[in-house]
Every structure is written in C-alpha cells, then in structure tokens.
Amino acid sequence: MASGVGSLGVDLDFVCVHAGRAATELTRRDVARALLAVPSGVALVAVPDLRRALLAAGNPLSSPFWESVKRTLGAIESGHATVGDVQRWMESTGTEPLLLTRGFFVWPEEDERGPIAEEMFRRLVAFLEERVAAGEIDPDALALGDEAARETYQDLQEHWLNNPLPDDGRVPGSVVSEEQDEELFAAWDEEEAFALSELRRILAGLPAPDRPVADLRAACSRLREVLADPGYPGNVLRACAGYEGEPLPVDDEELWLTVTAGIAGPISDLPDDDETPETFEDLDGELSHEDAVLAALCAIHHADWLAVVAALARRGPGVLASPERIARFIAESEDIDVRMDDPEDLDAAETLFSSVTPLWACLGIVDKSEVLTPLGRWGLPKALERAWS
C-alpha cells in the first residue's frame, strides 16, 4: 500500500479505487479527477507523495502535468480559480471531453446524464485515450497551453461526435441530443399534467360562469378580421393557434378557445417570408416585435399561468389584469410554490405578460383598460385547460 498520505485519505490506492484502474493504467485525467474529489488543501498536501508513488509504480506521468496540478490546486485553494479554469485544466489532461465544442454541443452534467449520454461519454474518453497512445494528442502541449495542440484536440472530438460509430452506425452527438430532448419533453409533460390537475382542482371549487353568447360572437367577429390581417397581431395569433393557410373553424367557440389556448402554448413559429424578410428581422440581428412576443409567450412557466388564471377566475369580471397586477398575482399566489422577493423577478414577470395582455385585448378577454371581462372569466380557464390537455 502506498504511504505518506494515507491518514488524509488521498494516496495511490484512493486514486486507483476512484478511477477503477490499476496504478500502471492511470491517466492524467484519472489523477486530476481524484484530486478534485477532495478539498484542494488536502489534495495539495497529497501531491508530492502521490507523484513518488506513481513513479515507483512505473507510471510517472510528466513534469508539465504535475506543474499544472500544483498551479490549478493552488488557484482553487486561494479562491482565484474559476469553474472555467478548472474545466480547461481537466481538458488539458488530453482525455477529458470538451464541455462545449465548436459546434455548440454541450455534454450534460455528470449527475444529469442519461444512459446514452453516459455510454457516449465513456466511449469518447476511451477514444481520446487511444489517440493519446497513438501520439495524435499531446497532453503535455495541452498542459502548456499550446494552441495548435488545442486545435487538434477540438478537431478530433468534433469529428467523433458528428460521424457514425463504426460498430453500430449511431452518431454520438445526435443520439445524446435526442436523449436530452426526450428527457426535457418528459419533464415538460409531467409539469403540464400537474398544472392541469391543479387547475381543475381550483375550478371545481368555483361556480361555473355563464357563457356570454353575445360577447363571444362579437369577439369572434373582430378576431376573424384580425386573423385575416398579415401583420401584428394577426400573424402572432395565427402562429399561436397553428392557423396558417387552412380555413378557420366556423364555430365561434372553437375558434376563440383555440386561439386563446395558443397564447398559453404557441403551436408554431412565424412563417418565413423570403420576399419581405425585413418585416420580421432587422439588419442588426435583433428579434422583430412578433418574434419577441412569441419568445415571451414560450418563456412563461406553467406555474405562472396557473397562478394568473386562478387569481382571475376567483376575482371575476372587473378585476384589473394589467401586466403589473398579473406579476403581483404570481408573487402572492398560494396555488404555486414560487418566491419572487427580488424586484427583478416582478419586473421579469411583468415584462413577459406585457406581451400577453395586448393579445388578450384582441380576444375580448380584457377591455381597453386591461380589466377582465365576463368573456375572459368564462373562457380563460377553459382555454388553459385545452392548452394543457
């Protein structure tokens, strides 16, 4: 058993157990990960004896690596190292996958990787170890900050991520991204299902409002005119409802509920218009007003929608539904678990819902003074239920 730092828990045996390898097979990455698994002060004390133990085991690694170890651990101990500094040091071991590639592929955090991401990460580590052994990756040059070595390191990983594996034809970057998407969709569906159950629970305790037939008819007459207009807000409302090119529903209630539900859950993006691109984007690359509105709608959480619609349903017609008041509804809601102690949180909610209330006005949900109407009280909960169903 290695000696010298056993009492601190960091010795060659510790590194071997942490890496799951014999001392002769340990890589720079294995040693770096083990040292980062303990407090930096403990790791610094352990380094000299660990280096001697690896030398005795016939796996001395290299002077540039050990210098980088002392430099990085020292920066961590003094509080001067950033997360990016530590990540870059790990990557300089030659077998640590890049956290962010040139193609903007990002590996999930270690404790958030699914089975496919975990498999592909291990495969990439093994691939990089093969390239180090073949001399295609120079860890010492990486440790010394050689840009050419870094370029080679990046190129090898970019190629590996974006090309089929020889044994099964899967493209690593694609299958990892697909797994992440599936996990994201599953989490989204779970959140939506919970929000829907809470909405139904709240509504079950409230009296059902009468259907305002005349108001609905008048609102849909205006809505059909708005949807026929190629500009804002018709283009945004069509995107929200997924109405592009096909005839609108004849039934007023179906049309109104579909468009209102689309505001809480937009179905599509704005269509591309190659003939008039200046309508939707400016030359500086900033979002157009329409795109900014859709982005805001997509950024509103289920919990925020639930808090707002529940508050409006309880208070009924005549309650102010301005963006400022809506932000306060969210902050004060007992239906959701949210903390908005910071004024910036209120400002953020107000900003998001400032894209909602003008669209609500087009549907007759609020009037010109941003006050909830009988139509809004009747239809908003129904539309939100539809959006989440």
Per-residue pLDDT of 123-163, as tens digits, reads 999 999 999 999 999 999 999 999 999 999 999 999 999 99
Q: Are residues 379 and 269 in the same domain?
A: yes
Q: Are residues 215 and 80 in the same domain?
A: no
Q: Are residues 100 and 23 in the same domain?
A: no
Question: Is pLDDT above 70 for 386?
Answer: yes
Averaged pLDDT for residues 212-234: 96
Residue 270: pLDDT band by 50, 70, 90 thresholds? confident
Q: Are residues 165 and 214 in the same domain?
A: no
Residue 29: pLDDT band by 50, 70, 90 thresholds? very high
Is residue 340, in this structure, part of any structural domain at all? yes
Q: Are residues 263 and 377 in the same domain?
A: yes
What is the extent of the structural domain holding 3? 1-91
Rounded to the nearest 5 degrees, what angle is found at the Cα of 389, between the Cα atoms of 257 and 297? 65
What is the distance between the terminal CA atoms of the chain, rounded to a whole angstrom?
Answer: 62
Q: Are residues 367 and 280 in the same domain?
A: yes
Question: Is pLDDT above 90 for 23?
Answer: yes
> By mean pLDDT, which of 176-185, 273-282, 316-325, 347-356 is the weakest?
273-282
Q: Are residues 151 and 109 in the same domain?
A: yes
| Residue at which a domain ends, from 76, 91, 106 | 91
Is residue 347, in this structure, part of any structural domain at all? yes
Averaged pLDDT for residues 74-91: 96
Q: Cβ(353)–Cβ(300) under 8 Å?
A: yes
Question: Is pLDDT above 90 for 373?
Answer: yes
Q: Cβ(330)–Cβ(304) under 8 Å?
A: yes
Q: Identify the pLDDT of residue 144.
A: 95
The neighbouring-strand residues paired with 106 are 100
pLDDT tens-digit series, residues 52-76: 999 999 999 999 999 999 999 999 9
Looking at the structure of the chain, the number of domains it has is 3
Q: Identify the pLDDT of residue 246.
A: 82
Question: Is pLDDT above 80 for 283?
Answer: no
Is residue 199, in this structure, part of any structural domain at all? no
Q: Are residues 280 and 150 in the same domain?
A: no
Is residue 322, in this structure, part of any structural domain at all? yes
Q: Are residues 168 and 224 in the same domain?
A: no
Q: pTM to 2 decimals?
A: 0.67
Is residue 173, in this structure, part of any structural domain at all? yes
Residue 29 or residue 283, greater confidence: 29
The distance of Cα 70 from the centroid of its chain, to the nearest Å, equals 35
Is residue 375, in this structure, part of any structural domain at all? yes
Residue 244: pLDDT band by 50, 70, 90 thresholds? confident
Q: Are residues 262 and 313 in the same domain?
A: yes
Phi, psi of 104 (to 5 degrees): 65, 30
Q: Are residues 79 and 103 in the same domain?
A: no
d(CA 64, CA 71): 10
| Residue at which a domain ends, from 91, 120, 141 | 91
Distant-in-sequence contacts of 114-120, Cβ < 8 A, 24+ apart: 114/179, 114/180, 114/183, 115/179, 116/175, 116/176, 116/178, 116/179, 117/176, 117/179, 117/180, 120/172, 120/175, 120/176
Is residue 194, in this structure, part of any structural domain at all? no
d(CA 229, CA 232): 8
Q: Identify the pLDDT of residue 278.
A: 40
Residue 341: pLDDT band by 50, 70, 90 thresholds? low
> By mean pLDDT, which of 69-78, 204-213, 283-292, 345-354 is the weakest?
283-292
Q: Cβ(232)–Cβ(267) under 8 Å?
A: no
Q: Identify the pLDDT of residue 10.
A: 87
Q: Identify the pLDDT of residue 296.
A: 95
- Structure tokens given for 106: 């990002």
| Residue at which a domain ends, from 44, 76, 91 | 91
Question: Is pLDDT above 60 for 274?
Answer: no
What is the 3-class SS of the chain, one letter each residue? CCCCCHHHCCCHHHHHHHHCCCHHHCCHHHHHHHHHCCCHHHHHHHHHHHHHHHHHCCCCCCHHHHHHHHHHHHHHHHCCCCHHHHHHHHHCCCCCCCCECCCCCECCCHHHCCHHHHHHHHHHHHHHHHHHHCCCCCHHHHHCCCHHHHHHHHHHHHHHHCCCCCCCCCCHHHHHHHHHHHHHHHHHHHHHHHHHHHHHHHHHCCCCCCCCHHHHHHHHHHHHHHHHCCCCCHHHHHHHHCCCCCCCCCCHHHHHHHHHHHHHCCCCCCCCCCCCHHHCECCCCCECHHHHHHHHHHHCCHHHHHHHHHHHHHHCCCCECCHHHHHHHHHHCCCCCCCCCCHHHHHHHHHHHCCCHHHHHHCCCECCCCEECHHHHHHHHHHHHHHHC
Q: Are residues 272 and 336 in the same domain?
A: yes
C-alpha torsion sign, points 327, 329, 335, 340:
positive
43: Cβ–Cβ under 8 A, 6 or more apart, which residues? 10, 35, 36, 73
Residue 318: pLDDT band by 50, 70, 90 thresholds? very high
Averaged pLDDT for residues 209-213: 96
Is residue 201, in this structure, part of any structural domain at all? no
Residue 216 or residue 188, greater confidence: 216
Averaged pLDDT for residues 71-84: 96
Question: Is pLDDT above 60 for 381?
Answer: yes
What percent of the chain shows pLDDT beyond 90?
A: 86
